[in-house]
Structure 1
Amino acid sequence: MPVNNPSQLKLSLSALMFGLTLSAQASAAEFFITPVGGYSFGSSELKFTQSSDEQKDYFSISEDGNYGVMLGMTTRDPGDVYLLYSHQSATLGSGGVFAGETIASLAVDYLHLGGTLYFPNGNWEPYVTATAGLTQLRPDGGLDTETRFSMGLGLGAQYRLTDNLALMAEVRGFATFMNTDNEIFCGDQGCVWKLQASTLVQGQANLGIQFRF
């Protein structure tokens, strides 16, 4: 149907431009998947008390490899928002990271929602990132799983090979907030240990490859 009224023509053009702007903004956002692998290190020591005889000991999580994936979408900052999953198969040992008795095998999982701010310089994209979510500690031997709130901070850089492909390297730190004087890792035989520490700190060094689509 032809538009003969100039005001109607202007209104139609304005609506068309608004729709094109929204379409352009939607198409500018890209989704990505980034498989990562790395090494978890620097676990803080946690002081425990054995329930049976009040004996005190210091436990820490071993340094081991980790792997995970990030799923997200880009923003206009330039930056992105993403969901991070990270898994480490480790051991919980007494007397520090490099010595002492192994108490249990322990799976450490992080599930975090995060955001990244990039500082592009040619093909290089240095960035800072922050996350928040949950840490899950899953010991073997029939002991209960422990889930706690945690936060993370990281520094890294991407090198963009193409518009849809980039290599990344980063260092992250995680802080998991534990309940002081809280019984932990309970099982059928009751709670063996009482935790006397408020925060579990871990670091990660990761490499990955980002696919945008």
Structure 2
Amino acid sequence: MTRAGMMVMGLLLPLGHGWAAEDGDLGWQLTPFMGYSSAIDFDKAGEPAPAPVSTSLDSLQGESSANWGFFISKEVDDPGMIELLYSHQSTPMSPDQPDRLTVDTLHFAGALTLSDNFMAPYIGAGIGVTHFDAYGSETAPSMSLALGVQPRLTKMLALRAEVRGYGSLLNEDADFLCNPEVCAFRVRGDLVTQWQANLGLTLRF
């Protein structure tokens, strides 16, 4: 995923120029995006779940799939942005399970623009929560780090492409993946990681 994201960024280098604030006018930005998320691996906790079972699994995986979301950003003097980030993914589980896994992330984030020329590269970070939902649900604290570009197309529009890594800290023996008709599966408390490559269109106002 990192290599694919960097290829996207490379293709955007010739487009536009940096989106620096003009004459001290610090505006707002809205960026809907679509992207692709890597797989999420879950390891089984040491003790089996107390439920009737016919099969037991040692691990489950949320498969890689498309995602979508948006940024609401306020430009600041640094230069950069403070942002609200929302991301949504719905994906099958492997081995096959009757239900799907949905992953919703809400982060308070920031981005620091490294240059106001050409592709306007930036680094970003965020902190907030990630909500996992399958047979049950679990909300976990999470953080993210990002590397991206935002080439300006017009006075009001820009492209935005980034690679973002997420880490979520799950509680010990989280049972949102436990299907009582198929398996006894409680997630081992651990840092669960995932990567996204995203491409969006920014409207500045």
Structure with the higher fraction of residues in helix conformation = 1
Give the length in aligned residue pairs: 178
Contact 1:167 1:210 in 2 (8 A): yes
Structure with the higher fraction of residues in strand conformation = 1
Partner of 2:16: none
1:57 aligns to 2:58 (yes or no): yes
Partner of 1:78: 79
Equivalent residue letter for 2:99: A
1:1-213 alignment to 2 at 5 Å? 28-48=25-45, 50-51=48-49, 52=51, 55-93=56-94, 100-102=95-97, 104-139=99-134, 143-185=135-177, 192-213=184-205
The alignment yields a C-alpha RMSD, in angstroms, of 2.6
Shift of 1:144: 2.4
Alpha carbons of structure 1 residues 104 and 57: separation in structure 2 relative to 1, 3 Å: farther
Partner of 2:14: none
Gaps of 5+ in 1: 1-26, 94-99
Alpha carbons of structure 1 residues 188 and 45: separation in structure 2 relative to 1, 3 Å: closer
The structure that has the greater radius of gyration is 1
**1:38-79: per-residue Cα shift (whole Å, max 9, x none)?**
000142342245424794511111111000111121000110
Q: Distance in 2 between matches of 1:41 and 1:168?
A: 19
Q: Distance in 1 between matches of 2:161 and 2:31?
A: 11
Partner of 2:21: none
Gaps of 5+ in 2: 1-23
Q: Distance in 1 between matches of 2:178 and 2:39?
A: 25
Equivalent residue letter for 1:116: A
The alignment-based identity, stated in percent, is: 35
Equivalent residue letter for 2:117: G
Please give the secondary structure, in 2, of the residue aligned with 1:162.
coil
Moved more, 161-170 or 110-119: 161-170
Q: Distance in 2 between matches of 1:194 and 1:86?
A: 25
Q: Distance in 2 between matches of 1:40 and 1:126?
A: 21
Please give the secondary structure, in 2, of the residue aligned with 1:195.
coil
Structure scoring higher RCO (CA < 8 A, sep ≥ 6) equals: 2
Contact 1:123 1:161 in 2 (8 A): no
Q: Distance in 2 between matches of 1:183 and 1:105?
A: 15
